[in-house]
């Protein structure tokens, strides 16, 4: 226990980098009891099928530590506001916004557990938030991103509803994950509703789009 406390005081970054030993006591147990029925934590996706995906009511979390920003995760678990306008894996039913809420103590333990689940596919510190004409052009015109995702623009929310909302992506998503996801989506999940852009956009274009998504407040 003493060792864990020292690790934590050295800094959150180190905690994220380390693996099993950095789990807060109990986070994995709380997850098994309250969360595992709806979320799977084993990956990567090449061992999964669409049927596996549909068998769970919530998104896969085996790379949660690569995908989410820690502060967002800890806060969201205590006060989970809808991310998707529509129910997960549905193109017709509304998201009822009834995600279970965790206590502050459980949320802290769960956050430490989930931030320890990472994917080696995500290279840290490459994508920095940036708005460029090229990225705007891709997101809004060249590619149909904005037709499926809502996003902030000029103080308003624009865009489609079939994909997760990207409003707040600046605080929710790790930009390096967004890039890795767009570049190699099949590593993360069996693809169904989100198109595979790896053969459509080149790596520089994917970087620009990931950097742009990271500016969405
Ligand atoms: C009854 C099923 C169910 C249970 C139980 C459940 N979740 Fe969820 N979870 C969902 C659904 C559905 C979503 C998608 C919510 C949305 O898009 O607004 C979700 C979303 C999430 C997300 C965001 C994932 C993403 O990719 O957007 C996290 C993190 C999460 N849940 C963690 C947990 C934790 C931790 C627990 C246990 C305390 C838990 N969930 C319990 C169904 C569930
Ligand atoms: C045909 C609709 C559609 C189009 C077009 C589309 N997406 Fe998506 N996108 C989705 C869906 C659906 C998901 C959720 C997939 C899942 O988790 O099952 C998603 C997921 C994402 C995510 C992860 C969000 C999260 O919280 O999990 C990002 C980032 C993203 N898309 C960015 C983009 C970008 C950038 C483009 C354009 C280059 C784009 N999308 C085009 C439907 C779309």
Which two tokens mark 131? 């708005």
Return all residues near 212 (Cβ < 8 A) that are at least 6 apart. 130, 131, 132, 135, 136, 138, 139
Rounded Cα gap, residues 173 and 166, in angstroms:
9
The pLDDT of residue 25 is 56
User: Looking at ligand 2, which residue's alpha carbon is closest to its atom 9?
Assistant: 194
User: Looking at ligand 2, which residue's alpha carbon is closest to its atom 8?
Assistant: 194
pLDDT digits 0-9 by tens, 37-64: 999 999 887 778 888 888 899 999 999 9
The pLDDT of residue 35 is 98
Choose the residue to mutate in 34, 37, 39 for probing ligand 1, maximizing ligand atoms within 8 Å of C-beta: 39
Which residue in this structure is represented by tokens 């852009």? 197
The pLDDT of residue 48 is 86
The pLDDT of residue 1 is 40
Rounded Cα gap, residues 104 and 83, in angstroms:
20
Rounded Cα gap, residues 135 and 88, in angstroms:
27
The pLDDT of residue 172 is 98
- Please give the radius of gyration of the chain, using alpha carbons only, rounded to the nearest integer: 17
Q: How far is the CA of 95 from the centre of ligand 1 (A)?
A: 12
User: Looking at ligand 1, which residue's alpha carbon is closest to its atom 1?
Assistant: 38
Return all residues near 135 (Cβ < 8 A) that are at least 6 apart. 208, 209, 211, 212
Can you tell me which atom of ligand 1 is nearest the CA of 60?
26
Q: Which residue stretches of the chain have pLDDT < 70?
A: 1-25
Rounded Cα gap, residues 151 and 166, in angstroms:
5
């Amino acid at each position: 226990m003493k060792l864990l406390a020292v690790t934590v005081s050295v800094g959150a970054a180190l905690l994220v980098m380390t693996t099993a030993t950095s789990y807060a006591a109990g986070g994995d147990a709380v997850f098994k009891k309250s969360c595992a029925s709806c979320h799977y934590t084993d990956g990567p996706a090449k061992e999964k099928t669409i049927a596996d995906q549909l068998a769970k009511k919530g998104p896969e979390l085996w790379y949660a530590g690569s995908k989410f920003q820690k502060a967002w995760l800890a806060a969201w678990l205590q006060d989970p506001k809808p991310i998707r306008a529509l129910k997960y894996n549905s193109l017709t039913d509304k998201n009822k916004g009834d995600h279970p809420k965790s206590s502050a103590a459980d949320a802290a333990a769960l956050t430490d557990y989930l931030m320890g689940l990472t994917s080696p596919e995500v290279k840290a510190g490459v994508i920095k938030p940036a708005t460029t004409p090229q990225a705007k052009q891709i997101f809004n015109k060249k590619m149909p991103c904005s037709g499926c995702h809502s996003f902030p623009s000029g103080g308003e929310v624009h865009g489609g509803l079939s994909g997760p909302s990207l409003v707040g992506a600046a605080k929710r998503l790790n930009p390096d994950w967004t890039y890795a996801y767009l570049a190699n989506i099949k590593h993360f999940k069996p693809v169904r509703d989100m198109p595979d852009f790896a053969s459509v956009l080149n790596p520089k274009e994917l970087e620009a789009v990931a950097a742009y998504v990271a500016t969405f407040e």
